[in-house]
Structure 1
Amino acid sequence: MNTTPTFKGRGRVSRKWTETTALASVLLMSSFAVSSTASAEAVESQPKFDEIVVTARKRSETLLDIPMSINVVSETTIEKMGANDFTDILGTVPSLTAYQNGPGRTRISIRGVSNGGGNDNDTQNQETVGVYLDEIPISMGAMNPELSLFDLERVEVLRGPQGTLYGAGSMSGTIRLVSKKPNLNEIEGKVEASLSSISKGSENYSVKGLINIPVIEDKFALRTSAYYLSNGGYIDNVLEGHEAKDLNDGTSKGLKVAGRVQVSDAFTVDFNFIHHDYSDNGRPEDVDAAGELARNYPSFDGYDDEMQIYNLTMTYDLDTAEFVSSTSFFKRDIINPRSLDQFYILVPGFGDLVPHELVDYTQTETFVQEMRVASTTDSALQWTVGTYFDQKDVAYQNTWPVPGSDDVLGAPAAGFGAPTDHLYYGTDDLTVKTFAVFGEAYYSFDKFTVTAGLRYFNWKQDISTYVSGILAGGAEIDNPAQGKADGFNPKLNISYDVTDDMLVYAQVARGFRYGGVNASIPLATCGDEVEALGIDVADLKTFAPDKTWNYEAGVKGRAMDGNLMVNAAVFHIKWDDVQTSRRFECGFGYRENVTDLTSQGVEFEVTANLTEGLTLTTGGTYMTSNLDTDILSLSAVKGDRAPYVPEFSLNATLEYVYPLTDTMDGFVWANYQHTGHRQTEFNAANADYRDMEAYDLANVRVGVTWDNLEVSLFASNLFDSRGVVRSLRRAPFDPDGAIRVQPRTMGITVKGNF
């Protein structure tokens, strides 16, 4: 488990897959054996780890009591890693991977449920992993926000479908950022400052702080935190006339105000306001022709992302149950430019134009209301029931302004329905409404617990689109058919307490995500290609929901007198009607449901106290994710691996805390991460196929703590790996290139609290 230990709990088949299952079986049986021996020898022994309380099932429970695969990243681990956002923890959580386009432009996947591709801002991008900040759903397709991890209790990563309690978008898992709540009784404060330097780049510095004030003791408290991060760059623009050093530098700043009112012993009101603002001066892309960590683009592609989040949560103790009402409003504005310089070179007649970036504007407003009631008695039957509603309004502009293009081309944009000097101008206006009723209950008898859950969902999407400009062949308004879906999402789990400290479980659960409406394909630009492929664009108006069936068995618990913790699972996922992106050479494309995919593997986490003060945490995944059918449109065949999913990943963390004096401790923290080979497309026959070799990262932090002060020195990517997280080639827009891990970064952190 990827956490500084702080818990005590309760306790098509291939040769590779056979080996994986065998490995998992050995691991599970070994855990049982160790557990049984330890229990027999030390029944009365005190556990070495304190309990971790999580709220993954929307109730407070200890981590080891929940029969599902959960990884918890503690606040301590976040600080040791120097993680500023949740993508910084990707390499330390088994089965968690991502398709990355830069900060704020990340599409997350869990357990190999990934098909890659698609544009960042596409309003029809539907996520496969739900991201929540406390009660607030904040996930957004390929544009998941990079909120700061400052003043969090923990990050919970729930692996496997979470459709019963969390709904669509959690078809392969859910990530929960759990904030610290206002303290009604004590003044608390914390300040943290960090300074570091990027190898072959510039400097980073950050300042973070919080203050908790009980305005009326036991009745009303405010907790306010803020952060400012100046992120250094390391990509140079080497194009003559456009030279720039470290152009991908940026800033991130935010403010959170949280309040808690204890109206009565039974009634609690929590309110939160969060503001986050991120901007940078260019994507972290290098281009083969320019060299490693360099590019040669004349166009600007800096990114701006601003959001405000409001939440009001009311909790009422009904003696035998707890009522929770959560009301949220989420507003986000994104400006996402993209360099299309390659296009000017390849398209006849465009060579005389002065290159200018395409600019996407996305404005989103989301309202969410959830109400639920959960039992709180000590009876054998526990249950949760609730309702959920959300409405998301999105205004999207896809614009390509090229100053002077009307004169150079001799074809005014107004004649094609676009603003002056625009090669292309398009808009999407959509409203999405979702309603759901959900419930989950579990019943314990003897050493068995049976859990069953069900969610009914009803989804509607209305959209209108407008496309114009010379590349669209003119102006066109489209009001396609309404997108609709409804149905049920079930879950069944059976667990068995092998001992008081070890349980095994088996689970089947269904995950799903909504479909959508395809944007218009301009025949003026793509007509020849569409005709050659024999495609009728009238058949491409919508694409359907897809779903997963997840089958898994796992073991979790404590052994060896509480000095060893194990969390392991074997999973088999059938992903049906996969939403797959198809792109034409003209630059436009659409989504369709054309294939099925199977993902299967084993994931494990082990935490061990080796000696006094010395702790080892390891975790890893072996996973295959392959097509079940051919996809002729993608030049893919049955058996091809899913894009951006490593077959093998591993991480290990060693931490040693030792006394220096009666009031001072020293510590050494070292972390290793291995990410296996990946590729950008299903099959090498695809012109955009590129390999991404395996890479390794090492991170280290050493420091001292005394009283309420800590000083530490750190090195991230200690051996200066140039590991590729995403290879680039999307002709005619992107030349060959790569997004790499940040070069070696070394610095100092000072923090204090009271």
Structure 2
Amino acid sequence: MKKTGLKQSLLASVAAAVFGTTAGAQDAATDDADDSLVIETIVVTATKRATALQDTAASISALGGEEIANKSLVDMSDYLNAVPSVNYVDRGVGENQIIIRGIGLGFAERATVGAYFGETPLSNPIISTSSDMKLVDMQRIEILRGPQGTLYGGGAMSGAVRNIPNAPNLDEVEGRVSVEYSNTNKASGGNGNVTGVVNVPLIDGELAMRVVAYHFENSGYVDLVSTGMMEARAAATGAPVAVKEGVGGNKYAGMRASALWRPTDKFDATLMIAFQELDEYGRNDVQISRGGYEATALNTGKEYKRDNIELYNLVMNYDVGVGTITSSTSYVKGEEGDSSDLGRVIPWAAVGFSDLEKKGFVEELRFTSDFGGPFEFTSGLYYEDFESYEECCWRWTGKDNSLNPFGARDMRIINTLSTIEQKAVFGEATYEAADWLSFTFGARWFDYTREDDIDESGPLAALPTVLESSESGTRFKAGIDVKPNDDTLIYGLWSQGFRLGLGAATASPDICDTNGDGLMDGTQSSLGDAQLKSDTTENFEIGGKFSMAGNRIQLNTAAYRINWKDIPVGVLGANPVCSATVNGGEARSQGLEVEARLILTDNFTVQLSGSYTDAEFRNNLLGAEGDPLPMSPKYNGYMGLQYDFALADNPSFMRADLTYVGEFSTGNSIPTASGGYVTLDLNAGVTLGDFDLKFYASNITNEDDVTISFFLDRGWRLRPRTYGVQLGYSF
């Protein structure tokens, strides 16, 4: 490519994209540029139909399989913080939380972002976290920003993350195996993993199977140390201080098998079965005030986390000529567990624990039109049935029961059986009024019932209770798309999102409203309702997508304002036994997002992105009006540089990825700020025939900033600098 041609065409291309200059003028401006050097078209299915990313009127980020491999991405924590308006809260195995566009309030809240593996939901409408399936043999990742209430329903009130695996190949045998070793600074040992993929056509062009297996082990890097305070707690409880190096290591192993059957051009069916086991040995949180990677704990028993999940999914597509009928049937089953020393934060020789079993069935039946005219639509039926059973919470583990202030081993045991059933009807339609003008309208009607049967025992137990809730409603979406030319899309969007409500306990009027004014004494809140309605988001967005310099430059921008209403809020009365949860919170989030991709030369590619998020409270129930919402940085940014070259005629690459996460709080009661750091990752690789060799270094500057702070001086820090090498063989 002639470098001068790209430079000379840039201003003309910007003018063509923004002001709609003639195609002839734009072609003339790029005559001396190499037409073969263009940004590859990325096809996404975020709208539940295949569309080019640059033609999709929504704020979407997408990562392809090659980019996932070149960046050494393994799980969601490796990439989400580099995406505009996204904050990923990682508190170890089974305790992740995704915040998009500032819509989030704190730990353990029910999900505000929908997470999917293929067509299967990973986020559960009952519990607060979603499983993180590892990124092995992936086709692409899609991150949808903004409420997705019409197509994705409850729980996607600020966006959705879709991890899409590679489908079986009907035409050829292929596969890959890789081994990897890395070392983390301050860790107790090395890290290693083995992955394998094999694809076999069983009937050429008709039936194929793809099998994926992986095993990862990461060493711990947090040291448990003794302090004067912990020695005093040990003396008071009879439990020794825990002293150990390199805790918090983890292991995860998984297998996925997919079969694709396509007997005719009109019909195909894909069956996927996946299993994954994640275990963390000890806790990897730290005592923030000590600096570095040190923590304190009493030796009250084994500390661990685990998250095991099984996924079953059957997708069938039938082409009826004027469109495609799709059925997606999913069954999800899993177990989660954790145990942590309470002596880390309070003077008890006890553990806090949780053991949870979950299962769910989801069916979606939809029709996607292909009329070939100005009017197209997608419509469908949705059904889900989820159940979870959890046992928790505090158990005395000291050997000297005379030091137990409550006299019982099980101080507080809570058994909770939760069920939820939901039905929905949804649809989105697009009408192309002219070659340059389109309108979109969408709606979703939902109806759900939920029951939580809570039984408690022990000296600190509350009374057993049964909480019930049910609700139906409709959420909407409307948009307008303007395409002044083939390289420009400008859109306006109004959309709604929601999160299903739930039952809630109310405060007693006899002791909590002594003056009879209908308000909880000492507050401006009611005594609460037995049912909390769904909280909602309403999004106003304008965006633009521009291709310039002969599609060597892509620039995507979006500005938005989200109003969040009816947020569930816990209220405490003047009497300490009085509390209630009410739909009393309101918040507002507004911001700007920018993403750019540039091919500067035939070897050099640049990716840039950044966002500004201004999220704040709008009433006094959650915080003073104007106070910032927690859990989301005001600024984040990313720059990726990749240089492709030939090393002795062998395809090679080098890349650097720089990520900035701005500072943010995790709640008014937590003084330590989170975020405010920059990380630099390096990757380099060479392909030698069927073999490939890759070297990488993550967090190469060895930053140890706090990624998320918790209460009572606890928190998590960036994983220390890690060097690694990977050897792969493809066939």
TM-score by length of 2: 0.89
2:440 alignment counterpart: 451
- Alpha carbons 1:35, 1:502 under 8 Å: kept: no
Inter-partner Cα distance in structure 2 for 1:503 and 1:583 = 50
2:154 alignment counterpart: 168
Further displaced range: 401-410 or 428-437: 401-410
1:704 alignment counterpart: 686
Inter-partner Cα distance in structure 2 for 1:190 and 1:147 = 19
1:59/1:583 CA distance change after superposition, 3 Å: farther
Inter-partner Cα distance in structure 2 for 1:590 and 1:614 = 58
> Quick one: which of 204, 226, 231 aligns to 2:191?
204
- Alpha carbons 1:651, 1:673 under 8 Å: kept: yes
Query: 1:292: Cα distance to partner?
Result: 2.0
Query: 1:301: Cα distance to partner?
Result: 3.0
Query: 1:597: Cα distance to partner?
Result: 1.0
2:309 aligned with 1:307: yes
Q: Encode CA deviations 1:593-618: one digit per residue, 9 max, x unaligned.
A: 22211111110100001111100000
Runs of 4 or more consecutive aligned structure 1 residues displaced over 6 Å after TM superposition: 27-30, 34-37, 409-413, 519-523, 534-538, 583-590
Letter in 1 for 2:144: L
1:112/1:28 CA distance change after superposition, 3 Å: farther
Q: Classify the secondary structure of the residue corresponding to 1:435.
A: strand
Inter-partner Cα distance in structure 2 for 1:556 and 1:261 = 37
Structure 2 gaps of 5+ residues are 1-12, 227-239, 514-518
- Alpha carbons 1:406, 1:412 under 8 Å: kept: no
Matched ranges for 1:308-707 at <5 A: 308-342=310-344, 344-345=346-347, 355-403=349-397, 407-408=401-402, 421-444=409-432, 445-472=434-461, 476-480=463-467, 482-518=468-504, 539=528, 541-581=530-570, 591-631=581-621, 636-662=623-649, 664-681=650-667, 686-707=668-689
2:266 aligned with 1:266: yes
Letter in 1 for 2:339: P
Query: 1:495: Cα distance to partner?
Result: 0.6
- Alpha carbons 1:290, 1:296 under 8 Å: kept: no
Inter-partner Cα distance in structure 2 for 1:644 and 1:90 = 14
Query: 1:424: Cα distance to partner?
Result: 0.6
1:721/1:569 CA distance change after superposition, 3 Å: same
1:748/1:591 CA distance change after superposition, 3 Å: farther
1:410/1:332 CA distance change after superposition, 3 Å: closer
1:411/1:357 CA distance change after superposition, 3 Å: closer
2:231 alignment counterpart: none
1:145 alignment counterpart: 131
Q: Classify the secondary structure of the residue corresponding to 2:79.
A: helix
- How many residues get paired? 689
- Alpha carbons 2:82, 2:636 under 8 Å: kept: no
Query: 1:375: Cα distance to partner?
Result: 0.8
- Alpha carbons 1:472, 1:522 under 8 Å: kept: no
Matched ranges for 1:73-152 at <5 A: 73-117=63-107, 119=108, 125-140=109-124, 141-152=127-138
Q: Classify the secondary structure of the residue corresponding to 1:691.
A: coil
Inter-partner Cα distance in structure 2 for 1:741 and 1:329 = 35
2:282 alignment counterpart: 282
Inter-partner Cα distance in structure 1 for 2:104 and 2:15 = 31
- Alpha carbons 1:38, 1:559 under 8 Å: kept: no
Query: 1:742: Cα distance to partner?
Result: 0.4
Query: 1:572: Cα distance to partner?
Result: 0.9
Inter-partner Cα distance in structure 1 for 2:675 and 2:654 = 30
Inter-partner Cα distance in structure 2 for 1:692 and 1:468 = 37
- Alpha carbons 1:35, 1:501 under 8 Å: kept: no
- Alpha carbons 2:151, 2:426 under 8 Å: kept: yes
Letter in 2 for 1:310: Y
1:745 alignment counterpart: 722
Inter-partner Cα distance in structure 1 for 2:21 and 2:165 = 34
Query: 1:362: Cα distance to partner?
Result: 1.1
Inter-partner Cα distance in structure 1 for 2:87 and 2:128 = 13
1:219 alignment counterpart: 206
- Alpha carbons 1:46, 1:561 under 8 Å: kept: no
Further displaced range: 217-226 or 512-521: 512-521
Letter in 1 for 2:436: K
Further displaced range: 328-337 or 541-550: 541-550
- Alpha carbons 1:405, 1:422 under 8 Å: kept: no
1:334/1:30 CA distance change after superposition, 3 Å: farther
RMSD between superposed Cα atoms in Å: 2.9
1:417 alignment counterpart: none
Letter in 2 for 1:266: K
Inter-partner Cα distance in structure 1 for 2:112 and 2:546 = 29
2:4 alignment counterpart: none
1:252 alignment counterpart: 252
- Alpha carbons 2:287, 2:713 under 8 Å: kept: yes
Q: Classify the secondary structure of the residue corresponding to 1:292.
A: coil
